[in-house]
Amino acid sequence: MITFDKVTKQLGGKTVLNGISFEVPKGETFVIVGLSGAGKSVTLKHMVQLMRPDSGMIRIGDDIINEARGAELERVRRRFGVLFQSAALLKWLTVFENVALPLRELTKMGEEEIEKTVREKLRLLNMEESMDVFPSDLSGGMQKRVGLARAIVMNPEIILYDEPTSGLDPVTSRLIDKLIEDLRRELGITSVVVTHDLHSALAIGTRIMMIDGGEIVENASPEDFIKSNNETVKRFLESQYITRRGAWEKGMEKHV
């Protein structure tokens, strides 16, 4: 569905992506992990041409997104819903208006239908009560949930999540995990999830890829990922108390 072919990107004189190639299969939940500054957000931005590669090619199905322009670019972008790391809600619009924005701007839907759709998406994320609140009056985690409601309101085929659960409490995090899982299982939606949270990565990912220093160090199924022999991956797993058996040994030992 999404194919990166030898993508290179320099930013501020630094090589952020160093010729990476990978494929996100249709209908899967593809998780990208990596340390802060590894280039995860930059990778996501390339998928919707918020950045263009210095060299290499990015295909979305049969469309080459890094070369698309004008109406063509618009058509490819409409296949996506994006949840940004900072939620990126418009501050002068209420929660309802934020989620309704794409419907109002891009469709011919009547107000009644818009209201129905927006309510439905907000209910999915337990945010229906905050409909008339402005984003600045919400916590970071609540803003993220509204951002997610906006990302799915146009029923996209592909959803990109930049750290959907960071800053969220564990219970709400699992709610988001479940939502991503449901979207895949019931609607066959392809998801790309950037996260630091390995537990959530292992729970929802059908494939996990780790980036470090602009290179792919591992790209495997969750089962194989925790068995990886790569030193960087091992260290990353251990830092979150995950060992080869998939248990949270170090953290648990003390309490058992």
Partner 1 sequence: MIAPFKEIYRYLDLPIRSFRRLGNILLIACHDMGNALIMLASATLYIRTIWKPRARRETAQQLYVTGIKSLGVITVVAFFTGMILALQTGLELRRFGQEVNIGTAVTIVMIREMGPFMTALIIAASVGSAIAAQLGTMAVSEEISALEVMSINPNRFLVMPRLVALAVMMPILTVYTNILGILGGGIVGSTQLGVAFQAYLDNATRYAENKDLYVGLFKAFVFGIIIATVSCYQGLNTTEGAVGVGRATRQTVIISFLMILIVGYMITRLFYI
Interface contacts to Mg ion, rule CB under 5 A: 41
Structural contact between residues 10 and 54, judged by C-beta atoms closer than 8 angstroms: yes
* Cβ-Cβ contacts under 8 Å for 82 (sequence gap 6 or more): 44, 48, 151, 159, 160, 162
Q: Out of 25, 54, 90, 244, name the contact with partner 1 by CB under 8 A.
A: 90
Q: Residues 85 to 124: which contact ligand ATP by CB under 6 A?
A: 85
11 binds, among partner 1, ligand ATP, Mg ion, none (CB under 5 to 8 A by kind): ligand ATP
What is the phi/psi pair of residue 7, to 5°?
A: -85, 125
Q: Out of 78, 123, 178, 185, name the contact with partner 1 by CB under 8 A.
A: 78
* Cβ-Cβ contacts under 8 Å for 42 (sequence gap 6 or more): 9, 11, 16, 17, 51
Q: Out of 17, 24, 38, 82, name the contact with partner 1 by CB under 8 A.
A: 82
Alpha-carbon distance of 193 to 205, in angstroms, equals: 8
29: tokens are: 């939940």
Should residue 139 be labelled a site residue for partner 1 when binding is judged by CB under 8 A? no
Q: How near is the Cβ of 245 to partner 1 at its closest, in Å?
A: 39
Q: At what angle do helices 111-124 and 140-152 cross, to 10 degrees?
A: 130
Of 131 and 209, which CB lies nearer to ligand ATP in the complex structure?
Answer: 209
Q: How near is the Cβ of 14 to ligand ATP at its closest, in Å?
A: 6
Q: Give the DSSP H or E segment for 21.
A: strand 14-24
Structural contact between residues 167 and 141, judged by C-beta atoms closer than 8 angstroms: yes
36 binds, among ligand ATP, partner 1, Mg ion, none (CB under 5 to 8 A by kind): ligand ATP
Kindly list the residues in this chain that would bind partner 1 in the complex (CB under 8 A).
45, 48, 50, 74, 77-78, 80, 82, 84-86, 88-91, 101-102, 104-106, 154
